[in-house]
Amino acid sequence: MGALLYVVRRRRRAREKARLASGEASAANKASRSQAATQRATASAAKTAASVYGSSSGQRASVLRQSSSFNLGKSNVDIGGVLGMDIGGTLAKLVYFEKKEPPGGMVRTCSRDPLVTMKRNLSLGDLNTREQKEALMQFYTFMDTQEQFGKAGVRDEHLAYYSHELGGQLHFFRFETRLMDQAIELISSSTIHNSIKALGCTGGGAYKFEDFFQKRMGIRMLQMDEMASLVRGLQFCIANIPGECYAFEPEPVKGTGANGKGEEEPMASEQDTFRNMRMRHMSELREKVDYSHKVHRSRTELLQSYPALVVSIGSGVSILKVDGPAKFERVSGSSIGGGTYWGLCRLLTGATDYDDSLDLADQGESDRVDMLVGDIYGHGYNKFQLSSNTLASSFGKLVTKEDPREGVTNEDVSKALIVMVTMNIGQVAYLNAKLYDTRRIYFVGNFLRHNNISAQRLAYAIAYWSGGEMEALFFEHEGYLGALGAFLSSGYEDPDGSSDEES
């Protein structure tokens, strides 16, 4: 009996040893395969970056190849500080910062808002450990290869700006909010979200998509006040980006600086000339005037000019009165904004892409759809100095036709829609500027991107209604000011909108 038990025990021990040996070999093989897959993925990303973007991305590729700590799960590294996001009802905007040496030949400039940029620079300088650098290289390599961010995302590379104050390059992406799920899928497939724990975000989507980001990617939204982010981004651009702010005029205006970008503050006599020229145009404004000449304004003058009105045109419209760098209040708004135009345009023309709808409008004739003063009187209404081509009723001409669609193209409908929304926004903006005695009106928001029809009509309307006393101003980065402000604020500001700067 004892001999039998001995044999049984020996066989059990032998089987156990064999099982353990097999398990260890399997684990080793699995680890080896995982490591090989990681090396292949990293080498592939590095090769792509090096072949497409040259030496800069090649250096990134070298760093990625040297990394042996690639982790498919959530890491302890957080590079979310290089990001800022603004999720609106129609479009989502993303700003990301890439720390790098300045392009050759660029001269360092002094910041016009040193408190913001100094604090933000310090927080960005903390991302210097080996793990953080590896995560940043992986993120930059991924973003470098995304000319289109998902199905409807666009990289606005022409807006990329090197900031000496921050010590790196700012990049800009946008995509339609309705396609958020596709954007998340793209990000998740790259695993770059594993190195992002939190990011500064503003707009209604910062609340609407809070759980979505947390559950799908493990990213916490640092919810930044929407209006505070907008004003901070606007003031950063005015202070630090030459040629950022511009106006539209019927003809060139003196006093905008020798380089045409408003780098020199106009002298008083030049300002008087500017006003006189505007007044001279008032008689011309009764007829159709082409406000198409783009003129950049002086940074120095704008930074010292308060109060000012900020009209943010997103899905709807918000109007802010700004009395100083950190002093502002929301004074008005409208439900008729960019979302109104895009929604009606999709309904009436079947357009599926926002930029394509603007291209349609460029080719359209709104006079085939809109009722003009001349359609009512047969000529102008001279008693009130209204020319025959003055808009009397948006889409009013269709009422008089048996078949409203006869002779009307999708291009005409798109143009009439954009004119209707624009003129309503302009009227509300002018009345608020009159109420709060503000000469300058800043129009911002993605509605104005790729949309000179609206910008030029706003410039014309504000000049006409105010008798040349008010001016409509626009920004090169008009749609990204909120995302930029969220990026700037997330480095040192509490989510409720308060910061060291205001304490």
What was the pLDDT predicted at 318?
Answer: 95
User: Which range has the worst mean pLDDT, 101-105, 117-121, 141-145, 366-370?
Assistant: 117-121
Q: Is residue 98 part of a domain?
A: yes
Rounded to the nearest 5°, which phi and psi values hold at 369?
Answer: -115, -40
Query: Is residue 143 helix, strand or coil?
Result: helix
What was the pLDDT predicted at 175?
Answer: 85
More confident residue, 50 or 307: 307
Mark whether 291 and 416 lie in a shared domain. yes
Res 9 pLDDT > 70:
no
What was the pLDDT predicted at 140?
Answer: 85
Q: Is residue 35 part of a domain?
A: no
What was the pLDDT predicted at 451?
Answer: 92
- Give CA separation, 18 vs 12, 15, 24, 25, 30, in Å: 10, 5, 10, 11, 18
The DSSP letter of residue 400 is G
Q: Is residue 160 part of a domain?
A: yes
Q: Is residue 65 part of a domain?
A: no
Q: How far apart are the C-alpha atoms of 502 and 410, rounded to whole Å?
A: 50
- Confidence band for 267, pLDDT divided at 50, 70 and 90: very low
Query: Tell me, what amino acid is at 188?
Result: S
pLDDT tens-digit series, residues 73-117: 566 888 888 999 999 888 899 999 998 887 765 554 544 554 445
Count the alpha carbons within 13 Å of 430 in the hemisphere toward its beta carbon: 21
Q: How far apart are the C-alpha atoms of 94 and 78, rounded to whole Å?
A: 17
Rounded to the nearest 5°, which phi and psi values hold at 364?
Answer: -95, 170
Q: How far apart are the C-alpha atoms of 208 and 210, rounded to whole Å?
A: 6
**Helices 354-363 and 338-349 sit at what angle, rounded to 10 degrees?**
80
Mark whether 228 and 270 lie in a shared domain. no
Contacts of 189 (CB under 8 A, 6+ apart): none
What was the pLDDT predicted at 289?
Answer: 60
Res 288 pLDDT > 70:
no
Domain count within the chain: 2
More confident residue, 371 or 37: 371
Q: Of 138-147, 469-478, 494-503, which one has max mean pLDDT?
A: 469-478
CA–centroid distance for 342 within its chain: 17
CA-based radius of gyration for the chain: 29
- Confidence band for 501, pLDDT divided at 50, 70 and 90: very low
Mark whether 233 and 84 lie in a shared domain. yes
Mark whether 178 and 138 lie in a shared domain. yes
Q: Is residue 206 part of a domain?
A: yes
Mark whether 124 and 219 lie in a shared domain. yes
For residue 226, indicate whether it is catalytic. yes
pLDDT tens-digit series, residues 168-226: 899 998 888 888 888 877 777 777 888 889 999 999 999 999 998 998 888 998 999 99
Average pLDDT of the residues in 237-245: 88
- Confidence band for 128, pLDDT divided at 50, 70 and 90: confident
| Among 253, 287, 251, 250, residue whose Cα is nearest residue 270 | 253
Domain holding 183, by residue range, is 80-237+483-502
What was the pLDDT predicted at 216?
Answer: 86
Mark whether 252 and 226 lie in a shared domain. no
Count the alpha carbons within 13 Å of 288 in the hemisphere toward its beta carbon: 7
Concatenating the DSSP letter of every residue in 244-287 gives -EEEEESS--S-S-TTSS--SPPPHHHHHHHHHHHHHHHHHHTS
Bridge pairing between strands 327-334 and 317-324: antiparallel
Percent of residues, the chain, with pLDDT higher than 70: 68
What was the pLDDT predicted at 265?
Answer: 39
Count the alpha carbons within 13 Å of 359 in the hemisphere toward its beta carbon: 6
Q: How far apart are the C-alpha atoms of 232 and 388, rounded to whole Å?
A: 43
Q: Is residue 231 part of a domain?
A: yes
Mark whether 149 and 282 lie in a shared domain. no
Q: Is residue 380 part of a domain?
A: no
| Among 319, 313, 363, 360, residue whose Cα is nearest residue 339 | 313
Average pLDDT of the residues in 242-256: 72
More confident residue, 99 or 336: 336
CATH number at residue 93: 3.30.420.510
Mean residue pLDDT across the chain: 76
The answer to whether 245 touches 297, Cβ cutoff 8 Å, is yes
Locate all alpha helices (DSSP H) within 305-409, ordered by sequence: 338-349, 354-363, 373-377
Mark whether 220 and 279 lie in a shared domain. no
The answer to whether 462 touches 431, Cβ cutoff 8 Å, is no
Of these residues, 226, 244, 411, 493, which one is catalytic? 226
CATH number at residue 343: 3.30.420.40
Q: Is residue 74 part of a domain?
A: no
Mark whether 230 and 299 lie in a shared domain. no
Q: How far apart are the C-alpha atoms of 83 and 95, rounded to whole Å?
A: 6
- Confidence band for 279, pLDDT divided at 50, 70 and 90: low
Mark whether 458 and 495 lie in a shared domain. no
Mark whether 90 and 202 lie in a shared domain. yes
Q: What residues are paired with 473 via a beta bridge?
A: 442
pLDDT tens-digit series, residues 413-444: 999 999 999 999 999 999 999 999 999 999 99
Contacts of 295 (CB under 8 A, 6+ apart): 246, 247, 248, 249, 252, 253, 256, 260, 262
**Helices 354-363 and 410-435 sit at what angle, rounded to 10 degrees?**
100
What was the pLDDT predicted at 101?
Answer: 81
Q: How far apart are the C-alpha atoms of 98 and 111, rounded to whole Å?
A: 19
Mark whether 208 and 329 lie in a shared domain. no
- Give CA separation, 116 vs 113, 325, 414, 452, in Å: 6, 11, 41, 32
